[in-house]
Amino acid sequence: MSSVYEYFISFTLAFIVAFSATPAVKSLAFKLGVVDVPKDSRRMHKNPIALLGGLAIIAGFFVSILFSVVSSKLLNVETALVFDTRFLGLIAGSLIIAVLGFIDDKVALSAKLKFPIQIVAALIVALTGTRIEFVTNPFSVIGISTFGPWISYPLTVIWIVGITNAINFIDGLDGLAAGVSSIASMSLFFVSVMRGNPDIRTAVLAAILAGSILGFLPYNFNPAKIFMGDTGATFLGFVLGTISIQGTYKSYTAIAIAVPLLVLALPLFDTLFAILRRVASGKSPMTADRGHLHHRLVDMGLTQKQSVSVIYVASAALGLCAVVLDYKGPVSAIILVIAVAIFIVGGSMYMSEVNSASKAKEVHYLYNPSRMSIIGGRKLDRLKVMTIFGTRPDAVKMAPLVKELERCDKIDSVVCVTAQHREMLDQVLKMFEITPQHDLNIMQSRQTLTGITTRALEGLEKVMEQEKPDIVLVHGDTTTCFVGSLAAFYKQIAVGHVEAGLRTFDKFSPYPEEMNRKLTGSMADIHLAPTQTNKENLLREGVSRDSIYITGNTVNDALKTTVKEDYTFQCEELKGIDFKNKRIIAVTAHRRENLGEPLHNICRALAAIVDKYDDVELVYTVHLNPVVQDTAKEILGGKERVHLIPPLDVQDMHNLMARSYMIMTDSGGIQEEAPTLGKPVLVLRKETERPEAVKAGTVRLAGTVESEIIEHASKLLDDKEDYDKMAKAVNPYGDGHASERIVNVLLYHFGLTDEIPEEFSV
């Protein structure tokens, strides 16, 4: 078969198969529940997106290969794809990677498990004949330095595994990894065919891979309909890593290893810098973050499409440099690299400036101070602020804000509580010495969301008619928060949303909180976000940048009131604990997803930790859920130096945390509170919706595997330096001044001060 026809047919068939298979793969992903839910700041999409798009790429790749081999047999024509050991090594290794990627997308495997399997797959390739056996050496007589097997095999494995993960690491924007991989494939294709002695097999494989990717890419462009997932990203990286060192790239030339390095330079260097950045900050090299090139471009102000375009141009330029290097020599390639670098940097800066200028022209009525100082036709000299809350958690977080509002001489503060949770709310009001001007007292026996909503809405309507506040402040994601926003909207009163921007992007998880906070966000005029991540969530939903302020979390303000050096515990069992001479580990574990075997693992790990360290005592506040109670009592009940106590009130819990050595929890709120107290937190979950804490080093994911929990706890108990590093890390959720920032934001936007509010930053 003519090589030109083989290139064309292989490319076209791979494209058609991948393009046709992608919709079916998308349906399969949703049926299997393999979707990507945007739970952290790294993710740039707003809604759950199907994974497994890599299956369509894999289908296109292998169907085209199979067709080429079968048709050559039936038509008795030659094909470049001969099943020798090297080719079989590529097939075997890539299938292992494909299966591993599929399982990873389905159940989220740990890096500790994936990495050895990737090494095995790469080793298969090396053992079957594809190896890096030399590099260019201008000081050598023959111009190269050859490697023996002790260097050749490890170097090949490192190369292939490195490229495998490099492509996966850059898969952070719609169409990015697929586009870069297709450009790399086409670059390898052109280098292969433009040689004096073309490497037809490598060219065919590169053409097939490019066709498969380009067939999938129309579904992956922004806004993406499907993601390739680890199934596709690791498969592409593995195949690219393998074919880039086959054929012509092993020939004895002056540019042997330079061609694949240039073709794959962008993902390689992005990955290298990511690893160095994480190791330098004391994190695992496999820990995800927002430091990749595509994240930095977005943070510069470029849109997703602009960021991807910049990286496409850079990849294409590097691919072109590889071709020029191979065809014209190093001098021409260097000149081209310099010219392209200047073009890309200049273009990125220009686009960033254009976007910044465009955003500066955005005008939001609420945030023009000269307009905000006029409310209902009157000029403001004082601001009337109504705070609304109704449960214990939002009362704890709103209480310090209420006290700060009361201290401000330009604000008249009005407090209205719905008493959605009567008894627990009263504890907080008493603790902070707050007397509400309005108490709706809506709680009823066996109350429903509908009942809470209707009673609160009717009560708040009357209160707002009576008080006529200039702005209403609501908190978080409770039903009281949503109804307070709705009542204010009906009365055309401005709404400030405290703790805005938290998202799971699944409206039924948590229920009804996720929908409550999203609906509140749609009605809010001022969004008071605790962190940069929350701000980014809001920006992705189209909220005006000028309406969002990063304030930190007010819960850390509350700790200044609740935690006291001379505090006397209300819980009798806590009164008898020797906090001075024992290392106390405070524990909470009760989340629904941990019930069953995970909770058994957690309790067994806790028992083992107490047995291992004589100076450790455990205080486990056991949730009232019978399943939690039974598991805790079965494994830990009656055990020496283990205290199983009922849930504590806020002040007891905060003071227990303050006096503990460290905290082990599956709670979300504790991850925000404990770092302010200088207490390391081990999160007893596989993931957290608070990635800022992991990035800051205030918490670590210990998971729910018994051995891993023991390992993480032991490190903090044995290694004082490691403990101090976590204990002294800056809390990304606040510095105890969030309430002050919120008051300053209100004064500025209502024209009562010209001082621009300072945002919280870590």
**Annotation: binding site for Mg(2+):** 168, 230
Q: List the helix and strand counts (H, then E) for the chain.
A: 30, 19
- Is beta strand 383-389 parallel, antiparallel or unpaired with respect to 411-417? parallel
Hey, which residues does 415 pair with through a beta bridge? 387
Of the candidates 315, 330, 10, the one whose C-alpha atom is nearest the C-alpha of residue 176 is 315
Given a contact cutoff of 8 angstroms between Cβ atoms, the answer to whether 723 and 680 are in contact is: yes
Structure tokens at 390: 């109704």
Contact 663, 585 (CB under 8 A): yes
Torsion of CA 170, 176, 177, 179, to 10 degrees: -150
Q: Which residues, including other chains, have CB under 8 Å from residue 144's CB and lie 6 or more apart? A: 134, 135, 136, 137, 252, 256
Task: State both tokens at 679.
Answer: 């207490």
CA distance 210 to 11: 7
Place of tokens 């001007």: 437
H or E element, residue 616: strand 616-621
Q: Which two tokens stand for residue 416?
A: 């209205």
DSSP-derived 3-state class of residue 337? helix
- 267 preceded by cis ω (within 30°)? no
User: Please, are residues 307 and 355 in contact by the beta-carbon 8 Å criterion?
Assistant: no
Q: Residues annotated in the binding site, as ranges? A: 168, 230
177: helix, coil or strand?
Answer: helix
CA 667 – CA 646 distance, rounded (Å): 16
CA distances 714 to 27, 548, 612, 727, Å, are 45, 41, 9, 15
Sign of the CA dihedral 596, 597, 598, 600? positive
Q: Exposed/middle/buried for 523, CB within 10 Å: 0-12, 13-18, 19+?
A: middle
User: Can you name the residues that pair with 387 across neighbouring β-strands?
Assistant: 415, 473
- Choosing from 105, 199, 499, 706, the catalytic residue is 499
User: Catalytic site residue 721?
Assistant: no
Q: Tell me the pairing of strands 494-498 and 471-475.
A: parallel
**Known catalytic residue at 583:** no
499 catalytically annotated: yes
Q: Is 592 a catalytic residue?
A: yes
Choose the catalytic residue: 438, 540, 590, 749. Answer: 590
Alpha-carbon Rg for the chain in angstroms:
30
Q: How far apart are CA 179 and CA 325, in angstroms?
A: 22
- What whole-number distance in Å separates Cα of residue 422 and Cα of residue 403? 21
The position carrying tokens 């891979």 is: 209
Determine whether 513 is an active site residue. Answer: yes
Distances in Å between the alpha carbon of 307 and those of 221, 222, 675?
12, 11, 35
CA proximity to 735, closest of 550, 481, 600: 550
Would residue 426 show up in a list of annotated catalytic residues for this protein? Answer: no
Q: Of these residues, 362, 458, 592, 593, which one is catalytic? A: 592
Distance from chain centroid for Cα 751 = 37
Please tell me which residue in 470, 513, 514, 740 is annotated as part of the active site.
513
DSSP state of 365: G
Tokens of 431: 């603790």
Phi-psi region of 129 (alpha: psi -120 to 50; beta: other; left: phi over 0): left
Residue 718 identity (one-letter amino acid): D
Q: What is the set of active-site residues?
A: 477, 499, 513, 590, 592, 623
